[in-house]
Structure 1
Amino acid sequence: MKLSQISINFDSDIEIIPFGESAILIEFGKGIDPKIHQKVNALTEYLDRHPLPGMIEYIAAFSSVTIVYDPIQVKKLQVDAVLGKDQLSYTILSTSVREILAKLSHKVDHTPRIVEIPVCYGGEFGPDLEYVAEYNQLPIDEVIKIHTNGQYLVYMIGFAPGFPYVGGMSEKISTPRRQSPRMSIPAGSVGIAGMQTGVYPIETPGGWQLIGRTPLELFRPNDNPPSLLQSGDVIRFYPISQKEYTEYKGEEQ
């Protein structure tokens, strides 16, 4: 995908609030929206390049960024010389964030990383594919075609290590969660829940409708970072046969 330039308006509606004694929450809006996500991504990319002094980590969500920090380290950064009083660590950090947002260019060059994920659809790997097709009154092949034709923006990683929350799925294959969640879902399972699709990176309970499985490992604890997918990535699924799945799995191991 070619380099693209996006316009970002960091308006005054941004909220910065304390989040406990050692974190602040920066809210850019509400809901799942690509334009809000651009603001989240712009700040996190800046923090990757220029970590704030005292920052331990940041956590990106659909419409916000939480910065976890060491209050003692932050308080060492600045003293109010006029009043002769130490500023609160929250005040120091929130002021720094405001300054960063003010300096960030309204024109941001961004090239999303494309991650292609092979999926073996149906059969033992996708026991709910037939139900998804029946629910939406579509042939099974059409469900697979719609699912693989989508481009899915990764908004955040959560729930389980490496689990991507994505947007962009067609409402034509939207399907409610199962009434009774499964106690164990194999790693690599690709599912649908409402208007979302995703991949289970590890074995875990879950209630999504399973339509296939990927041999690709999304959670790699020995890598840095351990999650294959990151916020801002774009996922493309493509179909493979069970034979290709087995061969791919062998190569991964």
Structure 2
Amino acid sequence: MSMCVLDAGDAAFTVEFGDAIDPDLLAAVNALDVGIARLQAEGGLPGVIETMPTFRSLTVFFDPLQTGREILLEALRPLFAASGHSGGDNGRLWQLPVCYEGIFAPDLAETARSLGVSEDEVVALHSGSEYLVYMLGFLPGFPFMGDLPKALRLPRRPEPRLRVPPGSVAIATGLTAIYPWKSPGGWHLLGRCPVTLFDAGRESPSLLAAGDHVRFVPVSMAEYERIERSLKSGDIEPQHWLTRRGAEQAEVSR
């Protein structure tokens, strides 16, 4: 695995592990990020402010009045070697409910026509895969997930929407995602998830994290509405849909 360090001004640098969207590169990024957090928890790396992981790189922000690029690179050198050999799998599997019906799936019919398959086949393909959360970005809590089955791959919409409803489950190129907020967006909308992905009041505001795995479980519109009510009333917590990879499949509702 190749690796290079790029300057990002006088208070940051970026460690790049490659130039593709690849699970092995993500594992290396996550391993380095975890290693830095561990060193900080142990009282090391004074001057490091925060880190920003992406598909294939990690940017380290630091206070130049407390430390410097070369000092940090020397301290991180053992982590560079270790990050290339890490599996990077945190074992977390989310089985999130998605309604692929009616107003929740405005692009389902068009997507099926473009791909030359039925709407049921699109739903079966999309919900039949397990996706890796590569990174969060674009919006707080927005997960870029891959890898989409090749039979579902389409370019982005030629004209983005001005408003995509929160919870919209979408696809574009080789990725799938969930919009946590109402926002513009150019991906194809196949369904909607009732589970809130970002809540500033939670200890960990973003429900999903890089390295998580996600499966989508189709539910009816009536079940979607029941889950949405249960979440709002507090009868069900978002953690209800968290399990471990390889564990017995969790039920969508209790």
Question: Do the structures match in fold with TM over 0.5?
Answer: yes
1:53 to partner: Cα distance: 2.0
Q: Does 1:47 align with 2:26?
A: no
The percent of aligned pairs where both chains have the same amino acid is 40
Letter in 1 for 2:191: G
Summarize the alignment of residues 21-60 of structure 1 with structure 2, pairs less than 5 Å apart: 21-51=10-40, 52-60=45-53
Letter in 2 for 1:53: P
1:177 to partner: Cα distance: 1.7
SS at match of 2:135: strand
Q: Which one of the candidate residues 129, 134, 139 is aligned to 1:155? A: 134
- 1:54-76 per-residue CA deviation (whole Å, 9 max, x = no partner) reads 111111001100011111222xx
- 1:65-103 per-residue CA deviation (whole Å, 9 max, x = no partner) reads 0011111222xxxxxxxxxxxxxx111111112232235
1:38 to partner: Cα distance: 1.3
Equivalent position of 1:170 in the other structure: 149
Q: Does 1:250 align with 2:229?
A: yes
**What is the alpha-carbon distance in structure 2 between the residues aligned to residue 104 and residue 126 of structure 1?**
40
1:22 to partner: Cα distance: 0.9
Q: Find runs of 4+ consecutive structure 1 residues off by over 6 angstroms.
A: none
**What is the alpha-carbon distance in structure 2 between the residues aligned to residue 133 and residue 162 of structure 1?**
28
Are the counterparts in 1 of residues 89 and 212 from structure 2 also a CA contact under 8 Å?
A: no
Q: In the comparison of the two structures, how many residue pairs are matched?
A: 228
Equivalent position of 1:3 in the other structure: none
Gaps of 5+ in 1: 1-10, 75-88
Q: Does 1:239 align with 2:218?
A: yes
Gaps of 5+ in 2: 233-254
TM-score (norm. length: structure 2) = 0.85
SS at match of 2:116: coil
Larger radius of gyration: 1
Q: Does 1:184 align with 2:163?
A: yes
- 1:177-208 per-residue CA deviation (whole Å, 9 max, x = no partner) reads 22211111110001111221110011100111
SS at match of 1:138: coil
Are the counterparts in 1 of residues 137 and 143 from structure 2 also a CA contact under 8 Å?
A: yes
Are the counterparts in 2 of residues 192 and 208 from structure 1 also a CA contact under 8 Å?
A: yes
Summarize the alignment of residues 1-253 of structure 1 with structure 2, pairs less than 5 Å apart: 13-51=2-40, 52-74=45-67, 89-102=68-81, 106=85, 110-253=89-232
RMSD: 1.6
**What is the alpha-carbon distance in structure 1 between the residues aligned to residue 184 and residue 32 of structure 2?**
33
